Amino acid sequence: MKHYKLIPAFLSTAIMLLSACNKGMNDYFYKTDNLAIALKGYNGSTEALEIRLDTSRYPHELAASNPFQLSSAYTFYDNQKNSVRLSVTEKSSGKLVLEKELKKEDGPAQVNFLYMDGKVSAWPDKPVTEPEKIKIMYMFIPQITNYSEPVDICFGKYFATPQVFEEITRIKSLKPYEFSEPAVFPTFSTARQEYNGVMTTVSFVVRIFKAGTNIPYIDGTEYTWHPINSTAPKPPAGTASSKMYIFNEQLSGNIMRFYTRVDQ
């Protein structure tokens, strides 16, 4: 009578794996490639946003009225196509906000956007902060006047006595609903100081002029301009910073003032 030896299950598995090595591991296992995907920007809507990569839901939502900066990775298997469809939708309505094809061959994907008032636009990167410098970028939304021409945004010091505005620098020909290039200028003190032999208070003021002029953009309208309170948003004058503002018009009586919608 012949006797047969039983091979333990774990040993049988090991033999199969060794055999697979001889045949080539691709016969048994998929190759994979990971695509790094980063999202950065601001959801300025009242709706949470969902993100999908093809049919897979992104692990995080984009909260309403909040900035976002997320990163993840998508895995391509060797039996799949070499691109993935990124889609962003409103969570409650399913409205498509953004759609983009990301290709593996293009390498890591960076998707920056602003979603506000039902519109998608680019979300720029702020410049880095430097000692003793102020850096500011703006988007101006004139939703009350519906002003449609470019404006100059002028930075300056306002001396209460004798009611003088001294320009430091300006952003030129900024179109409404678009981001400006950064304005860069030195920090400065707003402590009481002497002006033409008289001690006076000093304010950091940001005025909005018709492009190429020193005329307030509301000139010719029913609205008036206050020398201190009619200022665009701004950081402290004496502290180094890098800021990005989106701001709207806001009335106080018939005086034109401004509301900071996004401060980053």
CATH number of 66's domain? 2.60.40
In a domain, 182, yes or no: yes
User: Contact 185/155 with Cβ under 8 angstroms?
Assistant: yes
Say whether both 160 and 104 belong to one domain: no
Say whether both 150 and 71 belong to one domain: no
In a domain, 42, yes or no: yes
* 32-43, strands of its sheet edge to edge: 66-77, 32-43, 109-116, 119-121
Amino acid at 246: I
Final residue of a domain: which of 121, 150, 172?
A: 121
Residue 199 three-state SS: strand
Say whether both 95 and 204 belong to one domain: no
User: What pLDDT is recorded for position 111?
Assistant: 95
Say whether both 247 and 149 belong to one domain: yes
Mean pLDDT of the chain: 88
User: What pLDDT is recorded for position 50?
Assistant: 96
Cis peptide before 162 (omega within 30 of 0): yes
Say whether both 159 and 242 belong to one domain: yes
- Among residues of the chain, what percentage have pLDDT more than 70? 87
In a domain, 128, yes or no: no
Q: Where do the DSSP E strands lie in 25-94?
A: 32-43, 49-53, 56-57, 66-77, 83-90
In a domain, 4, yes or no: no
State how far the Cα of 100 lies from the Cα of 111, in Å rounded to an integer.
Answer: 9
Bigger pLDDT: 78 or 257? Answer: 257
User: What pLDDT is recorded for position 78?
Assistant: 66
56: number of Cβ within 10 Å: 11
Say whether both 167 and 64 belong to one domain: no
For 21-60, write each residue's pLDDT tens digit.
444 444 444 556 889 999 999 999 999 999 999 988 888 8
User: What pLDDT is recorded for position 249?
Assistant: 98
In a domain, 52, yes or no: yes
In a domain, 54, yes or no: yes
Judge whether residue 222 has pLDDT over 60. Answer: yes
User: What pLDDT is recorded for position 247?
Assistant: 97
Say whether both 257 and 158 belong to one domain: yes
Q: In terms of residue numbers, what domain contains 83?
A: 32-121
Say whether both 115 and 231 belong to one domain: no
Say whether both 97 and 166 belong to one domain: no
Q: Where do the DSSP E strands lie in 63-150?
A: 66-77, 83-90, 96-103, 109-116, 119-121, 133-141
Say whether both 65 and 94 belong to one domain: yes
Final residue of a domain: which of 121, 154, 169?
A: 121
In a domain, 174, yes or no: yes
Cα end-to-end span (Å), the chain: 86
User: Contact 150/177 with Cβ under 8 angstroms?
Assistant: no
For 50-97, write each residue's pLDDT tens digit.
999 998 888 889 999 999 999 988 888 766 678 999 999 999 999 999
User: What pLDDT is recorded for position 21?
Assistant: 46
Say whether both 186 and 228 belong to one domain: yes
Final residue of a domain: which of 69, 88, 121?
A: 121
For 94-130, write each residue's pLDDT tens digit.
999 999 999 988 999 999 999 999 999 999 999 999 9
Number of domains in the chain: 2
Q: What are the helix (H) ranges across the chain?
A: 9-23
In a domain, 16, yes or no: no
Say whether both 117 and 152 belong to one domain: no
User: Contact 122/100 with Cβ under 8 angstroms?
Assistant: no
